[in-house]
Amino acid sequence: MRIALLSPAIAIALVSCSGKKGEGTIVLTGSSTVAPLVADAAVRFEKQFPGRKVEVQTGGSSRGIADALNGRTTFGMISRELKPDEAALTAHRIALDGVGVIVHRDNAVTNFTREDLINIYTGKISNWKMLRGKDAPITVANKAEGRATLEVFLEYTGLDSADIVASVVVGENQQAIKTVVADPNAIAYVSIGAAASEAAAGTAVKLANCDGIAPTAENVAAGKFPIMRPLQLVTQGEIPAPAREFLEFLTAPANRDLIEAHLYVPITE
């Protein structure tokens, strides 16, 4: 199994080649939220099915969509719903996740309302003291265009990309987390599962409540958390037999522990 975090141009070139490999090779590209889960599943899959090869590359949900539509990948990985103009694709839901707001572990602010986030991301709130925090300017980290997390955040806030006044633009979840860790005055929004895993490992980041609701897997599963999205694999046309084996493996009850280990919510009938 191989997981690579590459620039879109380089990664697409690699997939164009790797997609032509033998029938046993399964290629997945797209969402950086979905990729770590799929990579862990791929390790277990390759052990149980000798001869099968799985390659995982990130680049954002928009890349997963484009690669699936253009036949460059076996599965596109996305962390949002399909749009009407993507109806040529079939979505296979593998888990649920929430999008949570993160700040530095030492930040005194523990809750944000929807209105708070709108005002922060449009520049109307520019200092933490306006939210009963310390007297320090807020470093606003926003997600890059093409990232599903950005689209989910915009849908929740009702903002347009042009409305956002950002100090820094980030791509992968890890880049957003590192930005907050390096700057105690930063704020960002990322996958709840990714942030919770980092916080549990001792990383100096914390998830804040949103509208008074704690960003937990339990609240996501119960439909209580206000910013939620599905984690999905997308395909176009008939799925090759090895790929179908991997999809069934990933969603099998026996491998539910992998989903839970990433603090995502498994899909239940």
- Transcribe 75-112 into DSSP letters: EEEESSPPPGGGTTSEEEEEEEEEEEEEEETT----EE
| DSSP β-bridge partners for residue 141 | 168
What's the average model confidence in pLDDT over 179-204? 96
* Three-state SS at 18: helix
* Identical fold between 2-96+230-266 and 98-221: yes
What's the average model confidence in pLDDT over 172-195? 96
In angstroms, rounded to a whole number, what is the distance separating the alpha carbons of residues 269 and 263? Answer: 19
In angstroms, rounded to a whole number, what is the distance separating the alpha carbons of residues 192 and 213? Answer: 13
- Transcribe 148-197 into DSSP letters: HHHHHHHHHHT--GGG---SEEE-SHHHHHHHHHH-TTEEEEEEHHHHHH
Per-residue buried b or exposed e for 243-252, using 16+ beta carbons within 10 Å of the residue's own CB: bebbbebbbe
Percentage of the chain beyond pLDDT 90 is: 86
Of 20-24, 58-62, 179-183, 232-236, the poorest mean pLDDT is in 20-24
What's the average model confidence in pLDDT over 159-177? 95
DSSP 204: S
Q: What is the pLDDT of residues 219-262, one digit of tens each?
A: 999 999 999 999 999 999 999 999 999 999 999 999 999 999 99
At 269, is the pLDDT very low, low, confident or very high (cuts 50, 70, 90)? low
Reply yes or no on whether the pLDDT at 17 is more than 90: no
In angstroms, rounded to a whole number, what is the distance separating the alpha carbons of residues 124 and 163? Answer: 11
The overall average pLDDT reported for the chain is 90
Q: What is the pLDDT of residue 25?
A: 86
| DSSP β-bridge partners for residue 209 | 111
Q: What is the pLDDT of residue 5?
A: 42
Domain ranges of the chain: 2-96+230-266, 98-221
Q: What is the pLDDT of residues 97-145, one digit of tens each?
A: 999 999 999 999 999 999 999 999 999 999 999 999 999 999 999 999 9
For residues 161 and 154, the answer to whether their CB atoms sit within 8 Å is: yes
The CATH code that applies to domain 2-96+230-266 is: 3.40.190.10
Task: For residue 226, give both structure tokens.
Answer: 């206000």
* CA nearest neighbour of 36 among 66, 7, 84, 79: 79
Q: Crossing angle for the helix pair 241-250 and 35-48, nearest 10 degrees?
A: 110
In angstroms, rounded to a whole number, what is the distance separating the alpha carbons of residues 103 and 184? Answer: 7
Inter-CA distances, 86 with 80, 81, 83, Å: 12, 10, 5
Percentage of the chain beyond pLDDT 70 is: 91
* Three-state SS at 13: helix
Q: What is the pLDDT of residue 16?
A: 33
Looking at CATH, the fold of the domain delimited by 98-221 is given as D-Maltodextrin-Binding Protein; domain 2 (3.40.190)
For residues 195 and 177, the answer to whether their CB atoms sit within 8 Å is: yes
